[in-house]
C-alpha cells in the first residue's frame, strides 16, 4: 500500500477512535412537564449525541428535591421524564438512561468533591440567587447544587455536556473542581466541555422571555392539543397590522417556527412576513400545524410506552447497573487518590 494511503488510514482510525470514546452526559430535573425549551436546547441535542459517542442521560431526581416537596409529584415526574426521553428517540441500545437516585454513590463523590470546592465558587453562581428570587427555599442543597451536578458529570468521565445556556456556569464550576482535584491529587477526572446549540441557546417563551416552567410562559411538549393551541395563540407579538410587512427577526412566533421547520419552510415564512398581507394569526396557525406534525410521532410513541411500564422499568434498571459500574471505577480511583481506600 502506498505510504500516503497508510497515513490517511491511520488518521481516519484515530479520528474514529476519538469519536467513539467521547462520552456525553446530560440530565434533566423531573420537576415538571417537559417544554419546547427543554426539548430543543437539551433533550434533542443530547439524544442526537447517542450516535456520536457514548451517551449517559439521567433523570436528576436528587436535584429535584431542591424544588419538589411532594413525593407523588417527584415519583410521577421521574416516570414522565423517562417516558419523554424514550418517546423523543432515546435508544436504550445506544444510550444509558438512568435515575440519579439509582446511583447513590454519586452522593459520596459529591461530599469528596465538596472538600476541594471553594465557597467563593458557589457564591458566584447566579442560579442560586435566581432561584431564591423566584421563591425557592434557600436550603443548603440549593446552594451546593452545582457540586452534585459536578459529581454527576465527573463520575462518568464525561467529555461533553449538552445543556441550555443557563447551565453553562455550572459546567464551568465542574471544570474548576475537576482541575483543582487533579492538581491536588493527580490526574483523575476528564475535564468536561459544555455544548450549547447556537440556534437554541435560549428558546423564547410565549411572552418573549426565556421559556421556563417557573415563568409559566412555556408550551408543553406533550400537553393536550387544546392547551398547546391556547398557548400558541397567546404568543406576544407587536401590533403591526395584517397588511403591512413585518420583521420576522424580532417576532417570537417566527423564532419558535424556526425550531420546527426546514430551511425551505423558514425561508418561505420569512418571505410572507416581509411581503405583508400575512398576519400574526396566520403565522401562529402555521406554527401550530408544523409543531404538531413534527411532534406527532413522539406523541404516538409516548402513548405506546405508557402501556409498557415493565419495559420502561427494565430500561431504567439496565441503565442504573451500567452507570453504577462506571461510577464505581471512578470512585475506586478517587478513594485511592485521597487516601480513603
Ligand atoms: P425550567 O427553566 O423550565 O425550569 P430547567 O431549568 O429544568 O427548565 O431546564 C432543563 C434544561 O433545559 C437545562 O439544560 C436548561 O438549560 C434547558 N432549558 C430550559 N429552558 C430553556 C430555554 N428556554 N432555552 C434554552 N434552554 C432551556
Ligand atoms: N441542573 C440541570 C438542570 O436543571 C440538571 C442536571 C443535573 C444536569 N445534573 C446534571 C445537567 C449534569 C447536565 C449534567 O437542567
- What is the domain-level CATH number for residue 290? 1.10.240.10
Q: Residue 3: what pLDDT?
A: 60
Same domain, 70 and 198: yes
With cut-offs at 50, 70 and 90, classify the pLDDT of residue 263.
Answer: very high
20 tagged catalytic: no
Which CATH number covers residue 83? 3.40.50.620
Least confident of 208-222, 266-280, 282-296: 208-222
3-class SS of residue 103: coil
With cut-offs at 50, 70 and 90, classify the pLDDT of residue 12.
Answer: low
As a whole number of angstroms, the distance between CA 256 and CA 253 comes to: 5
Domain membership flag for residue 5? no
3-class SS of residue 189: coil
Q: Tell me: the pLDDT tens digits for 59-76?
A: 999 999 999 999 999 999
Domain membership flag for residue 216? no
Domain membership flag for residue 66? yes
Domain membership flag for residue 210? no
Q: Which one from 168, 209, 213, 230 is the annotated catalytic residue?
A: 213
Same domain, 126 and 185: yes
H-only helix segments in 186-262 = 225-233, 252-260
Q: Which one from 129, 131, 198, 329 is the annotated catalytic residue?
A: 131
CA atoms within 13 A on the CB side of 236: 11
**Substitution candidate for ligand 2 out of 55, 148, 170 with most atoms within 8 A of CB:** 170
Q: Residue 199: what pLDDT?
A: 64
Instruction: Find the helix packing angle between 280-306 and 71-87, rounded to 10°.
Output: 100
Same domain, 144 and 62: yes
Q: Is the pLDDT of residue 55 over 70?
A: yes
Which residue's C-alpha cell is 478517587? 334
How many distinct structural domains can be found in the chain? 2
Q: Residue 49: what pLDDT?
A: 81
As a whole number of Å, the CA-based R_g of the chain is 22
Among protein residues, the one whose CA lies closest to atom 1 of ligand 1:
212
Domain membership flag for residue 32? yes
Instruction: Report whether 95 contacts 47 (CB < 8 A).
Output: yes
Domain membership flag for residue 217? no
List CB contacts of 322: < 8 A, sequence separation 6 or more: 96, 98
Cell of 74: 417527584
Pocket, ligand 1, Cβ cutoff 6 A: 28-29, 37-38, 41-42, 163-164, 166-167, 202-203, 210-214
As a whole number of angstroms, the distance between CA 258 and CA 40 comes to: 11
Q: Residue 52: what pLDDT?
A: 79
Same domain, 175 and 264: no
Domain membership flag for residue 8? no
258 tagged catalytic: no
Average model confidence (pLDDT) across the chain: 93
Q: Residue 4: what pLDDT?
A: 66
Same domain, 255 and 294: yes
Q: Is the pLDDT of residue 9 over 70?
A: no
For residue 244, report the distance from its CA to the centre of ligand 2, in Å: 44
For residue 51, the tally of other CB atoms under 10 A from its CB is 11
Q: Tell me: the pLDDT tens digits for 279-295?
A: 999 999 999 999 999 99
Pocket flag, ligand 2, residue 57 (CB < 6 Å)? no
Q: Which domain holds residue 264?
A: 225-305
131 tagged catalytic: yes
With cut-offs at 50, 70 and 90, classify the pLDDT of residue 115.
Answer: very high
| Predicted TM-score of the model (pTM) | 0.87
Domain membership flag for residue 218? no
> Left (φ > 0), alpha (ψ -120 to 50) or beta: where does 299 sit?
alpha
Q: Residue 164: what pLDDT?
A: 79
Amino acid at each position: 500500500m502506498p505510504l500516503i494511503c497508510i497515513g490517511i488510514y491511520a488518521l481516519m482510525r484515530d479520528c474514529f477512535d476519538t469519536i467513539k470514546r467521547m462520552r456525553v452526559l446530560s440530565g434533566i430535573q423531573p420537576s415538571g412537564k417537559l417544554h419546547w425549551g427543554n426539548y430543543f436546547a437539551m433533550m434533542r441535542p443530547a439524544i442526537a449525541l447517542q450516535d456520536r459517542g457514548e451517551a449517559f442521560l439521567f433523570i436528576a431526581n436528587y436535584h429535584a428535591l431542591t424544588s419538589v416537596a411532594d413525593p407523588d409529584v417527584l415519583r410521577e415526574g421521574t416516570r414522565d421524564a423517562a417516558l419523554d426521553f424514550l418517546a423523543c428517540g432515546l435508544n436504550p441500545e445506544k444510550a444509558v438512561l438512568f435515575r440519579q437516585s439509582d446511583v447513590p454513590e454519586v452522593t459520596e463523590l459529591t461530599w469528596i468533591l465538596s472538600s476541594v470546592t471553594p465557597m467563593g465558587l458557589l457564591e458566584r453562581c447566579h442560579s442560586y440567587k435566581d432561584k431564591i428570587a423566584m421563591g425557592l427555599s434557600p436550603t443548603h442543597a440549593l446552594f451546593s447544587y452545582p457540586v452534585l451536578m459536578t459529581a454527576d458529570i465527573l463520575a462518568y468521565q464525561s467529555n461533553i455536556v449538552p445543556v441550555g445556556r443557563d447551565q453553562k456556569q455550572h459546567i464551568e464550576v465542574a471544570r474548576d473542581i475537576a482541575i483543582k482535584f487533579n492538581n491536588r491529587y493527580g490526574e483523575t477526572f476528564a475535564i468536561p466541555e459544555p455544548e450549547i446549540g447556537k440556534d437554541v441557546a435560549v428558546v423564547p417563551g410565549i411572552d418573549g422571555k426565556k421559556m421556563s416552567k417557573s415563568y409559566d410562559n412555556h408550551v408543553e411538549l406533550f400537553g393536550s392539543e387544546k392547551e398547546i393551541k391556547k398557548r400558541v395563540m397567546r404568543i406576544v407579538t407587536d401590533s403591526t397590522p395584517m397588511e403591512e410587512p413585518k420583521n420576522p427577526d424580532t417576532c417570537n412566533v417566527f423564532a419558535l417556527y424556526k425550531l420546527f421547520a426546514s430551511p425551505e419552510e423558514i425561508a418561505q415564512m420569512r418571505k410572507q412576513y416581509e411581503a405583508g398581507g400575512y398576519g400574526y394569526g396566520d403565522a401562529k396557525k402555521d406554527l401550530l400545524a408544523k409543531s404538531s406534525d413534527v411532534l406527532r410521532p413522539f406523541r404516538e410513541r409516548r402513548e405506546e410506552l405508557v402501556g409498557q411500564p415493565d419495559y420502561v422499568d427494565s430500561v431504567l434498571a439496565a441503565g442504573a447497573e451500567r452507570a453504577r459500574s462506571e461510577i464505581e471505577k471512578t470512585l475506586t480511583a478517587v478513594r485511592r487518590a485521597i487516601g480513603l481506600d
